[in-house]
Structure 1
Amino acid sequence: MAVPLISYLYRESGLLSVYSTGRDAWLVIFARSCRMFAYGSCSLILALFFAELHVSDEQIGLFMTLTQVGDVVMSLFLTLVADRIGRRRTLLGGATLMVLSGTTFALFDNFWVLLLAAVVGVISATGGDFGPFRAIEESTISELTDQRTRPDVLVWYVTMSTLGSAMGTVAAGRAVQWFHESRGWTLLAAYHVCFWLYAIMGGVTMLSSALLSDRCELQKDSRPSVDTEMEMEMEEEGEAFLGEADDSSVKRDPPKSTFAQISKQTRSVMYALWFLLMVDSLADGMVSMSLTAYYMDRKFSVTKSALGDIVSVGYFLAFLSTIFAGPLSRRIGLVNTMVFTHIPSSAAVLVFPYPQSVAATFALLLVRLGLNNMDQPPRTALIATVVKPEERTAVMGITGTLRTVASTVGPTVTGFLAGDDRFWIAFVVAGALRLAYDLGLFAMFINIELQHRHKPSPPQDAEGQALSRGDEHGRGH
């Protein structure tokens, strides 16, 4: 009884798909987990570090803004050229910048030196993955998987990164407390230790990137599409995002231009999705976790420890719920999974200001956090399905950039709406925007999976049976 149950859980949880995809997928997931560990530790201490340096609030605000601008610009540029210069080289270069930035913060205390290192390097000021890594890694996973295994592998890519971020936050807090209180170090010295840890995690990311095989690159082998006539029409249209496209219906040749090119048909699909995702990101920025914590503190005067505990429980629920995104996608589809798991989270944001008890408000917060990440793996899988393989890296990079830009506008909108003690309006507007995103996504994309616009024909064995990408390339090394 125990063996069949374990086998069932192993298969349904998606771990079988991760294993069969091979070593490259394991390395990508491991690298992001280490990176998010570093980002989580950095986000916890960064503002405290600058406060210990007696940096003004205005300069801290300038640092946060310029760091995010630098991350967005670098991310957009690198994702547009990654398939040309090589995904592994791009990831290796980004990890090198991460090491250099962490080392600079560990050795120097001058604000302008640190600002330069953050803008041209890779430092996460908010704990989010805004650098060049995520889009390239998601495109790489899409390259390594097929439509059957892709949602499962992306689920564990998101799940393990969430766990890494949480562990990094805990580790940084414990390390600072231990060095400062038990060893008698100054707070500044304890913070420097955390930045050394950041640099070490960057080194681990470098090593993981260096160990990736050429399977992670854009492949040039022949992969006829399901709808050859549609591909021929796309070739005739020939318009590109940054010039004339050179789409081939038979071979996925490397792009001839330095920058990635995006066909007219892909853009016709992505324009609508980009708009909806920007609406969702604007709403998330309006009621970010820091603003939500501030609102609850003002409304209920809850202790910081109680608030921290409930947020931690919420993130743990998100970790658990994301595991089920893969099995759910297989049963009800990618779009249905995105919509039906996100609607309860959106509704929780909409009604968040109405409860007058701490318990009811905390319950809504748990619903919001616990279900908020379940749409991420199917969203990436959906993009990988409707976008041509040679366009994935660029499209995912542009998607991340637009979402980041929209998110940064959110707090400004909240500040405008929250004047004269009307903070609750921001939650109502944000919840309504999130629900508009959910319903718009369902209305516009519910049938997109039936088209499989750029689905490659699966390779077959001698008996004509379809093989998975893991069977095609081997189960790893």
Structure 2
Amino acid sequence: MNRLQVDSHRLRETAHWLYHESGLRSVNITGRDAWLIILARTCRMFAFGGTSLIMALFFTTLGFSDPQLGLFMSMTLAGDTVLSFLLTFMADSLGRRRVFFGSGLLMSISGLVFLYFENFWILLLAAVIGVISASGGDFGPFRAIEESVLSHLTNPQTRSDVLSWYVVTSNLGSAVGIEVAGRVIEELKRRDGWSEIRIYHAVFGAYIIMGVANMVFSCLMTDHCEITEPVLSIDEGAQVTQGLLSNSDEEAEDEIVPPTTESPVEQKKSRFAEISSKTRSVMYKLWFLLTVDCLADGMVSYTLTNYYLDRKFHLPKSQLGDLMSTNYILGSISTVFAGPLSRHLGLVNTMVFTHLPSSMAVLLFPVPQGIVLTVILLFIRGGLNNMDQAPRVALIAATVKPGERTAVMGITSTLRTLASLLGPSITGALADSDKFWVAFVAAGALRVAYDLGLWAMFINVKLHEHEESDQDTSKARRVADEEESTD
């Protein structure tokens, strides 16, 4: 009996250690809004994954040329850039949840257009003014605001973990979306009355549903997502403070303190002017490096990678879907370790040491002439490619003031998208001249330059200088909300 008790105790300790080290505890204590944001992006990436598998094939079936495909992807990213720039700069004043709702609505409308129309210019117009993912990436207005909200809801101890799971689940969403799309396409092909065009149209039906789901999730979020949270009255504050003082020391030690409250930001004519010169001096370097990285990613996006594999090896759509789905799953598994690695190695080291092998895989991707080695390089790229995302957002949050985060992340997203939009046109021209492989070599070289530059410029940057040390007010507010919800 004693041995059973010892084994049970060890099992509980192991489970508790995994719960803490995996970052799930950080997500859980951050609360309902974090779960809703993570779920919303997972559903969105499910839709983006499906479109990344079929977009190039859809356009080829419609008779569009490779340069037209490159133009479409570039113009789509340009539209996302403008929309993201406008909405992220207005999000704090309009309300972040309202922006989420509007973005979900635009996503559904764009999917509806792609469901019914086949004209190149109509599709291009819907992609430019709406929210459509032509590359499988999340370049629209959602991501920058979601990252800002999660940075607001978390603190330095929980931020990397929460952002890591934000990336992990999105990769899983993309993986499932690609897998489902590939299987559905092959299944419908075997049925009478289903042309290839009609099958591709059906995939956009799921895109519409995921847009509606994002609208629903935005309606379920609380006021804590906004930059200004409600302030407790004097009586409520006194009651909560008394309740906090009565907690045991053990509970206080086990509690990870929730995020600091961002003070109201006075709206000015230019949100860029609100960013301090010290913050800008740091971000200028990071923005330059990120534009280099995103130019490379735009040249070899997963949509174009699918197209390259299809042209080189002529794979069945189901097999292509299996490969890309596995690729995303590997990325999800590896990203679970991004949070723990960030705690032990540091944010910059985690970003560089995980991203550099992925960059080398892109550089070498066209070299193998057989499918096996090509797939191995694809899995190395995808398995490690996203491990730098959560540390990158945590790095930005740790170097800028809380009131600057939405604007800074909005500018970051805009610059990344601007850089990405050049890539597809370059690759489209290369593909049309039978030099598709050059895009991967150039992109790999640019990514390696980004990794080395990041390490050289940011390894000694001071972090968390703007984080507030006294978080009693936020703690009191959370306890008050919990008491109110139980009443």
User: What TM-score, normalized by structure 1, do the two folds share?
Assistant: 0.82
Contact 1:459 1:472 in 2 (8 A): no
Identify the residue that residue 464 of structure 2 maps to in structure 1.
452
Report the Cα distance in structure 1 between the residues aligned to 2:436 and 2:110, rounded to whole angstroms: 37
**Structure (1 or 2) with the greater helix fraction:** 2
**Which of residues 41, 46, 52 is equivalent to 1:43?**
52
Structure 2 spans left out of the alignment, 5+ residues: 1-9, 232-260
Percent identity over the alignment is 57
Cα displacement string for residues 191-236 of structure 1 (whole angstroms, at most 9, x for unaligned residues): 34332221111111001001111101113689xxxxxxxxxxxxxx
Letter of the 2:346 partner, please give it.
G
Contact 1:21 1:475 in 2 (8 A): no
Measured on the aligned residues, the alpha-carbon RMSD in Å equals 3.3
Letter of the 1:254 partner, please give it.
V
Structure 1 spans left out of the alignment, 5+ residues: 223-249
Identify the residue that residue 254 of structure 1 maps to in structure 2.
265
Instruction: Give how far 1:334 is off.
Output: 0.8
Contact 2:55 2:134 in 1 (8 A): yes
Report the Cα distance in structure 2 between the residues aligned to 1:313 and 1:433, rounded to whole angstroms: 26
Report the Cα distance in structure 2 between the residues aligned to 1:447 and 1:3, rounded to whole angstroms: 39
User: What TM-score, normalized by structure 2, do the two folds share?
Assistant: 0.80
Matched, 1:402 2:411: no
Report the Cα distance in structure 2 between the residues aligned to 1:374 and 1:475, rounded to whole angstroms: 38
Contact 1:145 1:470 in 2 (8 A): no
Q: Any idea what SS the aligned residue of 2:190 has? A: helix
Matched, 1:273 2:282: no
Report the Cα distance in structure 1 between the residues aligned to 2:327 and 2:56, rounded to whole angstroms: 23
Cα displacement string for residues 422-470 of structure 1 (whole angstroms, at most 9, x for unaligned residues): 766654543333222222212221122x342321224149xxxx96997
Cα displacement string for residues 282-307 of structure 1 (whole angstroms, at most 9, x for unaligned residues): 23334444555666678xx5452566
Instruction: Give how far 1:5 is off.
Output: 1.9
Identify the residue that residue 264 of structure 1 maps to in structure 2.
277
Q: Cα distance 1:254–1:127, how it changes in 2: closer, same or farther (>3 A)?
A: same
Contact 1:19 1:475 in 2 (8 A): no
Contact 1:36 1:164 in 2 (8 A): yes
Q: Cα distance 1:476–1:26, how it changes in 2: closer, same or farther (>3 A)?
A: farther
Identify the residue that residue 196 of structure 1 maps to in structure 2.
205
Identify the residue that residue 171 of structure 1 maps to in structure 2.
180
Identify the residue that residue 31 of structure 2 maps to in structure 1.
22
Matched, 1:96 2:105: yes
Report the Cα distance in structure 2 between the residues aligned to 1:290 and 1:451, rounded to whole angstroms: 36
Q: Cα distance 1:113–1:343, how it changes in 2: closer, same or farther (>3 A)?
A: closer
Q: Where in structure 2 are the equivalents of 1:431-442 lying within 5 Å?
A: 431-442=444-455
Aligned positions, number: 443
Matched, 1:345 2:354: no
Higher relative contact order (CA 8 A, sep 6+): 2
Contact 1:40 1:166 in 2 (8 A): yes
Cα displacement string for residues 85-124 of structure 1 (whole angstroms, at most 9, x for unaligned residues): 1111111111111122223333445544433332222111
Report the Cα distance in structure 2 between the residues aligned to 1:397 and 1:113, rounded to whole angstroms: 28
Contact 2:161 2:340 in 1 (8 A): yes
Q: Where in structure 2 are the equivalents of 1:290-301 lying within 5 Å?
A: 292=305
